[in-house]
Every structure is written in structure tokens, then in C-alpha cells.
Amino acid sequence: MTATLRHARYVLSENPVTAFAFALFFLLALCAALGPALAPFDPLASDTAEALTGPSAVHWFGTDQLGRDIFSRIVVATRLDLGIAVTSVALAFGIGTLLGLAAGYCGGWIDRIVGRAVDTIMAFPLFVLAMGIVAALGNNVANIVYATAIINLPIYARLSRSEANVRRNAGFVEAARLCGNGEARIVLAQLLPNIMPLMMVQVSLTLGYAILNAAGLSFIGLGVRPPTAEWGIMVAEGASFIVSGEWWVAFFPGIVLMSAVFCFNLMGDGLRDIVDPLRRT
């Protein structure tokens, strides 16, 4: 344990960018946890007299077209966006990994069925599939989560399948079998922890992608419903004001969105460095 921590600290110190990413992540998590308590204004309260005013001492990030404080909306949106990302990735990871492990370890018809199902999903341009699912099932947060989970499932399924395949007859698995462990137990208690580090890297990357997916859906008009505050929909709404010079309406949510995704991606890279045995030499 301490060896891992020491190694982690070594990697982080060598890589200030990764350290920065982890710090940013904690900041975001804090925002999500504390949410509305941190917002100076009510994110839903309109004030048309103050509409479209630029960043100032009162409104740090300015106001939008209905006079709502953008900073407050961004802070409150953190909870929603992270929530969507974490839930959908958890679903994708949970279901995808189990399916992939089963397929890789058992082989045979399980492998073929899971393989086909995953291939079918991957044959669609993923964003279009998400659009289709949300359009068909209706615009609400739950459906956005399901759609994002479905399109990210294949990545986990494929990764865990190939890893399970490789480790299927590895030493430690043989040993566990000899000890009398049942197949299910081997998969869950031996294989899964063994591939966890690699999966964690993927989780981090997928979190970023999930947020971008929700933002893209909002841009098309299939995202969360107004007046809910969500980074993507704020950028989409603000996009029409860029040309007329009210750049802040889209810029600040865009920057925060980008920072969050950036943070997850860098974390993924950093985790990969920590986890990658090649770096230990």
C-alpha cells in the first residue's frame, strides 16, 4: 500500500500537470457536494432589468439573457453535470465490465452474444445513437443518463473482455481454481481487482466524455429542460449571443466545462502513468 502511495507521489511530483488535475477534481467535487450553498444568487431567479450585463463585482461571471447570475448557475450545475457523468459511467462500467469479464473468461456462446451486442452498439455513430435514444424516450435527466451509459458500455465490455481473455489461464487464476474457488468467485474476487487499475483509467476518460455528450445533446435541443442549469445547455444558449458581443454567456460555462473534462482526461493520463508497470523500471 505504502509502496503504491510512494510511487503515486513520485509520479505526481514528476508531473505537475497531473497534480493540478487532481486538485481541480477535488475542487469540482467540493462544488458538487456543497452546491447551492456556494451560489451567491438564486440560479433560477430572473431579473430582466439586469439582463446581459458583463462580468462585474456583483455578478462575477455576468448575467444571462433573463438576468440570472451566471456564476451561481455554473456552481449549481456542477452537481447536475457530475451527477449525470458519474451515474452514467457507473452504469456503463458496472454492466459493461461484468459482461466483458464473463465473455472473456468463459468464451463460447456468451462471448459471441456479448460480442455481437457490443458490435451492434459500436456500429452506430455513438452520438447519433444517444440522440436517437433521448429523442425517442423523452428529454429528461434519466434518459440522458441511460443513453450515455449505453453508448459507453462497449468500451468497458471490450476492455474487460480482452484483459480477461489474456489472464484467463494466468498463474494466479490457476492457483485460485486449485484452491477450489468457484468460477464466479474467481471472476469477481481475482480477475476484477486485477484489471481495476486499467479500468479506472478508462473511467476517468469516460467521465469527461459523458459530460461532453450531455453538452452536445443540449446544443441540439435534446438535453435537460429549461430552466435547469447545466453547463452544456448554458453554452448552447450563450452561443447565439457570441456574435452580438455578449461573449460571457457562453464563455464561462464553456471554460468550466472544458476544465472539468480536461481535468478528467489528465487524471486518466496520470492514473495510467501510476498504473503502467513500464514506468516503474
Residues lying near another protein in the complex (CB under 8 A) are found at: 14-15, 17, 44-46, 48-49, 51, 65-67, 116-117, 119-120, 122-129, 131-133, 135-139, 208, 212, 215-216, 219-222, 225-227, 232, 235-236, 239-244, 250, 254, 257-259, 261-262, 265-266, 269, 278
Q: At closest approach, how far in Å is the CB of 249 from another protein?
A: 12
Per-position DSSP letters for 172-210, written without gaps between them: HHHHHHHTT--HHHIIIIIIHHHHHHHHHHHHHHHHHHH
Comparing CA positions, the residue from 248, 47, 3 lying closest to residue 234 is: 248
Contact 144, 165 (CB under 8 A): no
Using the minimum distance from each CB to another protein, give the nearer residue, 26 or 124: 124
Comparing CA positions, the residue from 275, 182, 234, 276 lying closest to residue 78 is: 234
Residues 6+ apart with CB under 8 A from 155: 92, 96, 202, 206
Distance CA 25, CA 186 (A): 34
Using the minimum distance from each CB to another protein, give the nearer residue, 42 or 188: 42
Using the minimum distance from each CB to another protein, give the nearer residue, 60 or 127: 127
Q: At closest approach, how far in Å is the CB of 175 from another protein?
A: 29
Q: At closest approach, how far in Å is the CB of 109 from another protein?
A: 13
Using the minimum distance from each CB to another protein, give the nearer residue, 155 or 186: 155
Using the minimum distance from each CB to another protein, give the nearer residue, 56 or 120: 120
Grid cell listed for 249: 454567456
Q: At closest approach, how far in Å is the CB of 62 from another protein?
A: 15
Distance CA 215, CA 222 (A): 9
Distance CA 22, CA 250 (A): 26
Using the minimum distance from each CB to another protein, give the nearer residue, 49 or 178: 49
Q: At closest approach, how far in Å is the CB of 36 from another protein?
A: 17
Q: How far, rounded to the nearest angstrom, does the alpha carbon of residue 163 sit from its chain's CA centroid?
A: 22
Q: At closest approach, how far in Å is the CB of 157 from another protein?
A: 14
Phi and psi (nearest 5°) for 63? -120, 160
Phi and psi (nearest 5°) for 46? -90, 155
Contact 198, 276 (CB under 8 A): no
Using the minimum distance from each CB to another protein, give the nearer residue, 91 or 269: 269
Using the minimum distance from each CB to another protein, give the nearer residue, 101 or 212: 212
Q: At closest approach, how far in Å is the CB of 57 from another protein?
A: 23
Grid cell listed for 219: 446544443
Q: At closest approach, how far in Å is the CB of 225 from another protein?
A: 5
